[in-house]
């Protein structure tokens, strides 16, 4: 077996970047991203602009939805769509290996995600730095880094789906399910908790088992939210209950090292599956 040619990977990556950086949906989402940071900075600061920590945490649920959305828009058609349209026919008739094409696509599309996140957080961060100052800057940089990882994670997952699905429409449906999974995961795991014999009162008494929190590893969006809190040195999760506010310590298991390892697994395993599906696939 011939070795992988880095020049081919670079060529495909450059083409993917050039072709997708002008994607109007990505441009729109990036602008929304910038505006949201500025708006949340103001809303989070309750009448005056909030610092980087307040803004980032206030936006956490939105960014953990927006970034996967960018990745899915970029990646859903990269195999299924190009195979359907015929663009992939020509590329794969050249002296290239499918793994080189896939790696090039990941790097190229990943670069667009990184640029979008840098622009979103960067412009917003500069605005906050200019109005409020650079308080909690290290946490903010950590949040940018974690957002990039989240974007790459979802890119890997959607590329796997795109390599598996024969049609573009099925790939986008897969992407929607992927985002939906992150949104409903909390309810699912709560159902499992109830099924295991626990109930709502256990939250107040602190009897909720640790696995309930640790299962966040199965939901990249939840994991990302925990990671960003860790980046700002926050070790507790607050939960509003009727009549009371509960606070739980984030389990030691979900330390930053473990979170990064789990993120990496979420990137590598789908990507390996994408290679398998793409190599096996009839184009």
**Smallest distance, Å, CB 167 to another protein?**
15
Q: Pick from 13, 20, 147, 230: which binds another protein (CB under 8 A)?
A: 20
Three-class DSSP labels, 42-88? HHHCCCCCCCHHHHHHHCHHHHHHHHHHHHHHHHCCCCHHHHHHCHH
Question: CA-CA distances (angstroms) from residue 133 to 12, 49, 120, 129?
Answer: 41, 10, 18, 4
Q: Determine, following the binding rule CB under 8 A, whether residue 38 of this chain makes contact with another protein.
A: no
Q: Determine, following the binding rule CB under 8 A, whether residue 12 of this chain makes contact with another protein.
A: yes
Q: Which is nearer to another protein, 88 or 259 (by Cβ)? A: 88
Q: Determine, following the binding rule CB under 8 A, whether residue 170 of this chain makes contact with another protein.
A: no
**Smallest distance, Å, CB 143 to another protein?**
30
**Residues between 69 and 88 with contacts to another protein, criterion CB under 8 A:** 82, 85-87
**Smallest distance, Å, CB 92 to another protein?**
6
Which residues lie closer than 8 Å to 26 by C-beta, 6 or more apart?
20, 70, 73, 74, 112, 116
**Residues between 90 and 129 with contacts to another protein, criterion CB under 8 A:** 90-97
**Smallest distance, Å, CB 104 to another protein?**
10
Contacts by residues 169-173 (CB-CB < 8 Å, ≥ 24 positions apart): 170/80, 171/76, 171/77, 171/79, 171/80, 171/81, 172/72, 172/76, 172/77
Please tell me the count of residues contacting another protein according to CB under 8 A: 28
Q: Which is nearer to another protein, 26 or 267 (by Cβ)? A: 26
Q: Which is nearer to another protein, 18 or 61 (by Cβ)? A: 18
Query: 29 with 14: CB under 8 angstroms?
Result: no
Query: 47 with 129: CB under 8 angstroms?
Result: no
**Smallest distance, Å, CB 274 to another protein?**
17
**Smallest distance, Å, CB 283 to another protein?**
4
Query: 198 with 38: CB under 8 angstroms?
Result: no
Of the candidate spans 3-11, 149-157, 165-173, 205-213, the one that interacts with another protein by CB under 8 A turns out to be 3-11
Q: Determine, following the binding rule CB under 8 A, whether residue 18 of this chain makes contact with another protein.
A: yes
Length, in residues, of the chain = 283
Query: 73 with 29: CB under 8 angstroms?
Result: yes
Q: Determine, following the binding rule CB under 8 A, whether residue 23 of this chain makes contact with another protein.
A: yes
Of the candidate spans 15-23, 67-75, 140-148, 219-227, the one that interacts with another protein by CB under 8 A turns out to be 15-23
**Smallest distance, Å, CB 27 to another protein?**
12
> What φ, ψ does residue 220 adopt, rounded to 5°?
-55, -35
* DSSP letter assigned to residue 134: S
**Smallest distance, Å, CB 68 to another protein?**
23
- Per the structure block, which two tokens stand in for 209? 């088992």
Residues that bind another protein (CB under 8 A): 2, 7-8, 11-12, 14-15, 18-20, 22-23, 82, 85-87, 89-97, 280, 282-283
């Amino acid at each position: 077996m011939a070795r992988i040619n880095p020049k081919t990977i670079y060529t495909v990556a450059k083409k993917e970047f050039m072709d997708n950086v002008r994607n109007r949906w990505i441009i729109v989402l990036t602008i929304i991203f910038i505006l949201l940071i500025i708006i949340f900075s103001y809303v989070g600061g309750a009448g005056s602009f909030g610092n980087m920590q307040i803004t980032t945490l206030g936006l956490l649920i939105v960014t953990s939805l927006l970034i996967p959305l960018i990745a899915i828009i970029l990646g859903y058609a990269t195999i299924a769509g190009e195979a359907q349209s015929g663009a992939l026919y020509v590329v794969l008739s050249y002296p290239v290996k499918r793994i080189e094409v896939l790696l090039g696509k990941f790097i190229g599309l990943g670069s667009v995600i990184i640029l979008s996140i840098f622009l979103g957080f960067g412009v917003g961060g500069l605005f906050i730095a200019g109005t409020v100052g650079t308080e909690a800057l290290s946490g903010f940089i950590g949040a940018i880094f974690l957002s990039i990882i989240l974007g790459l994670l979802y890119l890997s997952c959607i590329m796997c789906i795109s390599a598996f699905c024969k049609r573009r429409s099925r790939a986008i449906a897969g992407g929607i399910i992927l985002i939906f999974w992150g949104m409903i995961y909390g309810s699912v795991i709560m159902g499992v908790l109830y099924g295991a014999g626990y109930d709502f009162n256990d939250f107040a008494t602190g009897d909720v088992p640790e696995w309930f929190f640790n299962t966040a590893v199965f939901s990249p969006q939840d994991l990302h939210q925990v990671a960003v809190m860790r980046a700002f040195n926050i070790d507790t999760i607050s939960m509003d209950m009727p009549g009371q506010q509960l606070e739980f310590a984030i389990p030691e298991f979900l330390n930053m090292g473990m979170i990064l390892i789990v993120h990496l697994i979420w990137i590598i395993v789908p990507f390996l599956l994408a290679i398998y599906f793409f190599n096996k696939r009839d184009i």
